[in-house]
């Protein structure tokens, strides 16, 4: 990978079923995600997806791009910027910001983001992975 290269994008439909499955898997049953009546009275006006469920698409993208190196050395720093509602489509993408030789391998820093189908950014941040020099 070289500076400026695009990472492979990931696109997902966010459904209430997926939100409920994520709640089961994570044990996070916050009513903002699973209780329609509670969520309708919130600042969001309805149920929203778990932030970490949406952030997981960044890890999926990085795994697609860098394989085992991401799983072994990857790290990210992200900001949640907007809620994602069931029924929305999201697209996760990124760009290589820098490539640096390090003692342990080649460090690749990337700008990453998750964008909703209306163009609003749901998550933005940075991800860094170290790959073998080669």
pLDDT digits (tens, 9 = 90+) for 47-72: 999 999 999 999 999 999 999 999 99
* Residue whose tokens read 């044990």: 27
Q: Residue 52 belongs to what domain range? A: 10-131
Task: Indicate whether 26 belongs to any domain.
Answer: yes
User: Rounded CA gap, 131 and 134, in Å?
Assistant: 9
pLDDT digits (tens, 9 = 90+) for 77-87: 999 999 999 99
pLDDT score, position 10: 97
Residue 89: beta bridge partners?
Answer: 13
What's the token pair of residue 24? 């089961």
What's the token pair of residue 73? 């050395």
Number of domains in the chain: 1
Task: Indicate whether 2 belongs to any domain.
Answer: no
Q: Mean pLDDT across the chain, nearest whole number?
A: 97
pLDDT score, position 134: 72
Instruction: Give the helix/strand (H/E) hosting 12.
Output: strand 10-13
Model pTM?
Answer: 0.93
Mapping DSSP to helix (H, G, I), strand (E, B) and coil, where does residue 99 land? strand
User: Rounded CA gap, 70 and 49, in Å?
Assistant: 25
Task: Indicate whether 50 belongs to any domain.
Answer: yes
Task: Indicate whether 113 belongs to any domain.
Answer: yes
Task: Indicate whether 1 belongs to any domain.
Answer: no
Mapping DSSP to helix (H, G, I), strand (E, B) and coil, where does residue 25 land? helix
Phi/psi-derived region of residue 93, left when phi > 0, alpha when psi is between -120 and 50, beta in every other case:
beta
CATH number for position 119: 3.10.129.10
Task: Indicate whether 3 belongs to any domain.
Answer: no
Cβ atoms of 109 and 98 closer than 8 Å: yes
- 109 — phi, psi (to 5°)? -100, 135
């Amino acid at each position: 990978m070289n500076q400026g290269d695009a990472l492979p994008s990931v696109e997902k439909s966010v459904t209430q079923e997926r939100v409920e499955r994520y709640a089961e898997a994570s044990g996070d049953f916050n009513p903002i995600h699973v209780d329609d009546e509670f969520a309708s009275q919130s600042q969001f006006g309805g149920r929203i997806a778990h932030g970490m469920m949406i952030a997981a698409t960044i890890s999926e993208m990085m795994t697609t791009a860098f394989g085992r190196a991401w799983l072994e050395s990857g790290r990210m720093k992200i900001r949640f910027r907007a809620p994602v509602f069931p029924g929305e489509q999201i697209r996760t993408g990124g760009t290589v910001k820098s490539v640096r030789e390090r003692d342990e391998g080649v460090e690749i820093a990337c700008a990453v983001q998750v964008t909703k189908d209306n163009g609003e950014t749901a998550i933005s941040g940075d991800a860094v992975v170290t790959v073998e020099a080669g």
